[in-house]
Amino acid sequence: MLLTELNVDDLNTLTHFRVERFLHLFATSLPSCLIQLDGHQTLTIHCPSTEIVDDLLDDLEELCDRAWLILGVNALCLYFGEEEVLQTNTYYR
C-alpha cells in the first residue's frame, strides 16, 4: 500500500500549480487571456487583443515547448474574439 494516495483535490491542485507556472513564464501576455485545458489534451488561449496574439505568435516555438513540457498538452489553439487564429501541435518529431 502506498503511504499517500492522490485524490481528485490533489490532482486539481497540481493542475492549478502547473497552469500558474506556465502563466508565470509568459507574464507579459498570458495573464490577461482566458486559458482552457480540455480532456483532449488541447490548450486553448482566448486573447483580448491583437497585440497579445502577435506577441504569442512571436514566441510560438517557446510557447508550444513550454505547453507540452509543463501542461502535457499535445495541441495549442489561439483565438481572438470568436475566430481561431492558430491551431498547432505543441511538439515536433
Provide the grid cell at 71.
501542461
CB of 45 within 8 A of CB of 78?
Answer: yes
**What local confidence, expressed as pLDDT, does residue 24 receive?**
95
Residue 72 in any domain: the answer is yes
Residue 62 in any domain: the answer is yes
Cβ neighbour number for residue 29 with a 10 Å cutoff: 20
φ and ψ at residue 39, rounded to 5 degrees: -70, -10
**What local confidence, expressed as pLDDT, does residue 93 receive?**
47
Predicted TM-score (pTM) of the model is: 0.86
Residue 35 in any domain: the answer is no
- Residue 59 DSSP one-character state: T
Tens digits of residue pLDDT in 45-85: 999 999 999 999 999 999 999 999 999 999 999 999 999 99
Provide the grid cell at 20.
500558474
Domain extent at residue 80: 40-93
Single-letter residue type at 41: Q
The per-type count for the chain, helices as H runs and strands as E runs, is 3, 4
Residue 13 in any domain: the answer is no
What is the total count of domains within the chain?
A: 1
